[in-house]
Amino acid sequence: MQEILDAVLSGDPAAMAGLRVPESYRGVVVRKDEQTMFEGMATRDKDPRKSLHVDEVPTPALGPGEALVAVMASSVNFNTVWTSIFEPVSTFSLLEKYGRLNELSKRHDLPYHVVGSDLSGVVLAVGAGVSRWKCGDEVVAHCLSVELEDPQGHDDTMMDPQQRIWGFETNFGGLAELALVKSNQLMPKAAHLTWEEAAAPGLVNSTAYRQLVSKNGGAMKQGDTVLVWGASGGLGSYATQYALNGGAIPVCVVGSPEKAEIARRMGAELVIDRSAEGYRFWKDEHTQDPREWQRFGKKIRELTGGDDIDIVFEHPGRETFGASVYVTKRGGTITTCASTSGYLHQYDNRYLWMNLKRIIGSHFANYKESWEANRLIGKGLIHPTLSRTYPLDQTATAVLDVHHNLHQGKVGVLCLAPGEGLGVRPEAQEFRAGHLAAINRFRDV
């Protein structure tokens, strides 16, 4: 592994040629024999530091159309929180299902699951039939794994019946020294970013792009008023940037004055601190309080000068969904990609049908949307929102931070990278300097 690292650090792609693929590598795993360890516990009390381990695991055999990547950095996504607490299902059930598909997918069904759905790094080896990428290429990987043998996915790759999220529904993910991906997951790494910055946007950037910008999601246009829940979090920090870039007017909801400050730093002017306002959309576990929806809607109108919301960027789910449907404008759209606070939503359907509102389900992004979102990172039009990084062996602490909502933006993990600040190409230094303040907006807040 040291030889690989030395070759990457030399900055010379040719130095990677002829390097031996190691027989094993260190990766962050959950173990199958521990998948029931949290049974009976409250979600919040399930501690990822008990379930996530850094284990030495065998390097998988490289199949046709695949690539093995030396991972310099990765980042924590909420899906690793779900995997680590075995909710809503143990991801071993997903690996077993994938394993039944064919001979190649069988490799993924193992008694351990190497997690992680983001990476930046360097291609170490490619399988038969790969011509677009070669050993030594500096890359990031999007997390869409598809087979495309059925026609449903041929227009929008997210519609493939065999659609999976790499590192969540497949094995050999990015929180590790090596990762196995399908070669069509690879995309160029932005030359002006460090390894840890480049690994941060991936999953959430692509998801926010589809959910808000793409015609498959909110199809946002200039002038739209966009309500962004969790505007300083993983998804929200990209949704806010897309709204501002696209000439829309984001109304950013956050949970503390510090987070409100970050939203303002991104350029948002309309910010609601939900903890200061003390919204209680649920009177008790079973009953919502429409007066609180009204109070929230009134606050939005106060900020917007009377406008209601064209698009709600939803992901908290049960706790906020009733309010989200209520505050949406006649004919407006609620786009949802998650249910962090609970997936059985309740809303008053009269507000939806009588006012011709629409709810759109959105999930990650297709190949094209992922490339479009990555292109904007490369052009310095969307910036990483990395707040801090952890070494690989402290990944579980990083995951706990995200589980308990103690983080801002994205939390990075250094995999092979021996420290922060490496990986910027010399020719991109000047470009980087021009964007440095924006790149560092979330650092150490």
Ligand X SMILES: NC(=O)c1ccc[n+]([C@@H]2O[C@H](COP(=O)([O-])OP(=O)(O)OC[C@H]3O[C@@H](n4cnc5c(N)ncnc54)[C@H](OP(=O)(O)O)[C@@H]3O)[C@@H](O)[C@H]2O)c1
Interface residue list for ligand X (CB under 6 A): 77-79, 203-204, 207, 229-230, 232-236, 253-255, 259, 274, 315-316, 319-320, 337-338, 340-341, 363-364, 402, 405
CB closer to ligand X, 68 vs 402 = 402
Residues 6+ apart with CB under 8 A from 151: none
Q: How far is the CB of 359 from ligand X (least distance, A)?
A: 14
Minimum gap (Å) between residue 353 Cβ and ligand X: 25
Least Å distance between CB 77 and ligand X? Answer: 6
Please identify, using beta-carbon distances, which residue of 69 and 203 lies nearer to ligand X: 203
Q: What is the C-alpha to C-alpha distance for residues 36 and 32, in angstroms, rounded to an integer?
A: 9
Considering beta carbons, is residue 110 or 300 the nearer one to ligand X? 300
> Nearest approach, Cβ of 206 to ligand X (angstroms)?
8
Minimum CB–partner distance for residue 227 and ligand X (Å): 11
Structure tokens at 73: 């950095």
Q: Is the Cβ of residue 166 or residue 229 nearer to ligand X in the bound state?
A: 229
Q: Which residue, 26 or 259, has its beta carbon nearer to ligand X?
A: 259
Which residue, 122 or 187, has its beta carbon nearer to ligand X?
187
Three-state secondary structure call for residue 112: strand
Please, what is the minimum distance in Å from the beta carbon of residue 339 to ligand X?
A: 7
CB of 220 to ligand X, least distance (A): 17
Three-class DSSP labels, the chain: CHHHHHHHHCCCHHHHCCCCCCCEEEEEEEEHHHCCCCCCCCHHHCCHHHHCEEEEEECCCCCCCEEEEEEEEEECCHHHHHHHHCCCCCHHHHHHHHHCCCCCHHHHCCCEEECCCCCEEEEEEECCCCCCCCCCCEEEECCEECCCCCHHHCCCHHHCCCCEECCCCCCCCCCECEEEEEHHHEEECCCCCCHHHHHCCHHHHHHHHHHHHCCCCCCCCCCCEEEECCCCCHHHHHHHHHHHHCCCEEEEEECCHHHHHHHHHHCCCEEEEHHHHCCCCECCCCCECHHHHHHHHHHHHHHHCCCCEEEEEECCCHHHHHHHHHHEEEEEEEEECCCCCCCCCCCCHHHHHHCCCEEEECCCCCHHHHHHHHHHHHCCCCCCCEEEEEEHHHHHHHHHHHHCCCCCCEEEEECCCCCCCCCCCHHHHHHHHHHHHHHCCCCCC
**Residue 363 beta carbon to ligand X: minimum distance, rounded to whole angstroms:** 4
Residue 371 or 431 having the CB closest to ligand X: 371
Q: Which is nearer to ligand X, 119 or 254 (CB)?
A: 254
CA distances from 136 to 126, 406, 420, 421 (A): 10, 37, 21, 20
**CB of 383 or CB of 432, closer to ligand X:** 383
> 255 or 267: whose CB is closer to ligand X?
255
Nearer to ligand X, 10 or 405 (CB): 405
Min CB(143)–ligand X separation in Å? 9
Smallest gap from residue 422 Cβ to ligand X (A): 25
Q: Residue 275 Cβ, how far from ligand X at the closest point, in Å?
A: 7
The DSSP line for 209-241 is IIIIISTTTT---TT-EEEETTTTSHHHHHHHH
Tell which residue, 361, 366, 354, has the closest CA to residue 329. Answer: 354
